[in-house]
Amino acid sequence: MLYLAIVSLIWAFSFGLIGSALASVDSYFVATLRLGCATLLFLPWLRPKAIGTQDSLRLVAYGAIQFGLMYVCYIKAFNYIPSHLVALFTVLTPVYVVLIHDARQRQFTPRYLFAALLSVLGAAIIKAKGTPSGDIWIGFALMQLAGLAFAYGQVAYRDWKRQHPEINDHNCFAFLTLGGTFCAAIFSLLFTDWGMLEVSASQWQALLYLGCIASGLGFFLWNKGAARSNPGTLAAFNNAVVPLAVLSSLFVFGEIENTSTETLVRLVIGAALIAGAVILGQRRRPAGDGAVKKK
Q: Is the pLDDT of residue 255 over 70?
A: no
Most confident of the following: 118-122, 203-207, 254-258: 203-207
10 Å CB burial of residue 225 (0-12, 13-18, 19+) is buried
Single-letter amino acid code for the residue at 107: Q
- More confident site: 86 or 8: 8
Distance of CA 146 to the CA centre of its chain: 9
CB atoms < 10 A from the CB of 78, how many?
A: 14
Give Cα separations from 59 to 32, 54, 65, 73, 192 (angstroms): 18, 9, 10, 20, 27
Give Cα separations from 236 to 44, 91, 92, 111, 245 (angstroms): 33, 10, 10, 12, 15
Give, as one character, the DSSP assignment of residue 66.
I
**pLDDT tens figures, 129-138:** 655 555 778 8
Q: Is the pLDDT of residue 294 over 50?
A: no
Helix axes of 93-105 and 110-127: crossing angle, nearest 10 degrees? 160
Q: Is the pLDDT of residue 126 over 60?
A: yes
Single-letter amino acid code for the residue at 227: A
Mean pLDDT of all residues in 210-230? 92
Most confident of the following: 13-27, 162-176, 281-295: 162-176
Domain boundaries, the chain: 2-282
- Please answer whether residues 190 and 14 qualify as being in contact, where contact means their C-beta atoms are separated by less than 8 angstroms: no
Distance of CA 239 to the CA centre of its chain: 10
Mean pLDDT of all residues in 62-87? 82
